[in-house]
Amino acid sequence: MTIFRVFNRFFLLPTAGITFGFITFAKAWPDDSTALTLKDSALQTAKHNSRYEPLSPIIQRQDILDKISKLPLYEKLKKNPHLDHTVQSENIPTGHRPYHVGQGQLFGPKKLEIDPVIFRDEINKSLVVFYHLGSDLSNENNKIHKGILSLLLDEGLCYCGFPCLPNKRGVTAQLTLDFKKDIPSDTTVVLRAKVNQLKGRKCIINGTLEAIPRKNLFQYICGMEPKHGDIYVTAKCILVEPKWFKYFSWLPMF
């Protein structure tokens, strides 16, 4: 009887209480109605009923968006019927955006100046993302902080790998970066990522941050389009899904 009381007092009741509280009060995202976001005041989009409204072009660099839309790489990706074309904010509920680094603290004039444009290839497990890095993300030498680049690569490579995991969620076990060249401020860059290895709850993603592809003299004369720009950073991410993540699929957590 004594053993049962000890088990009940120190294990069963605390476990039941924590579990009940977690299930009762856990919420997937902050409440949209109380969140202060970049969409407040006059910065409203045309859609008001969707929980996943894209950011308004009003608060982005429209000139950069126009330049990207005219790039041969962008046009090629957009014409590919097998690619899913989105922007980052469409994948994040509005109430959560102020707490998301890339959509809150680092988004805005002279920072991440556009809503990152994403092309995902689910068949080949790869993606391409366009970013524009403003001057406030640079160091004293007017080059983009390596910490910012690390964040973008970690986020981009994980986003590429998540759909391959059993429960579509995971954590970065290891991120290896090789910085090749500094990136000047006020620069548009391309992130490329591809899942190269997949085994159960673990996948390995390789990626790069590149300059916008530019024609050299030979390509210009021959009318050829370059496939890649100069590489600024190469990256390798080992993404794993902890065993207990499967229980999150029972709750509307993410």
For range 111-138, the mean pLDDT = 95
Is a pLDDT exceeding 90 seen at residue 193? yes
Does the pTM exceed 0.85?
Answer: no
pLDDT tens per residue, range 61-99: 999 999 999 999 999 999 999 999 999 988 877 777 777
Q: What is the DSSP letter of 226?
A: P
Report the pLDDT value the prediction gives residue 164, as an integer from 0 to 100: 87
Is a pLDDT exceeding 70 seen at residue 155? yes
Locate the domains of the chain by residue range: 1-30, 32-250
- Write down the H helix ranges in 80-196: 146-161
For range 143-148, the mean pLDDT = 96
CATH code for the domain defined by 32-250: 3.10.129.10
Report the pLDDT value the prediction gives residue 42, as an integer from 0 to 100: 32
